Amino acid sequence: MISIFKDSVGRLRNGWWLLIFFFTLGALVVPATVYASSLGDSVSPSLQALLAVIAT
């Protein structure tokens, strides 16, 4: 039987992990960007890197 979610060992497929990562990253970066722009500022590269590490 072919499963789109799990591989033959029963683990979640890599594509789904990638999708989860991008959704998590977006859930962290979008609010930070909206908040920073409401203050008339931008999100610093170091904060962006920190959010990427947290999403990972």
pLDDT of residue 37: 96
pTM of this structure: 0.80
The Cα 28–Cα 43 span in angstroms is 12
The Cα 35–Cα 42 span in angstroms is 9
The answer for 46, left when phi > 0, alpha when psi is -120 to 50, beta otherwise, is alpha
Supply 41's token pair.
């500022």
pLDDT tens-place string over residues 1-56: 678 899 889 899 999 999 999 999 999 999 999 999 999 999 999 999 999 999 99
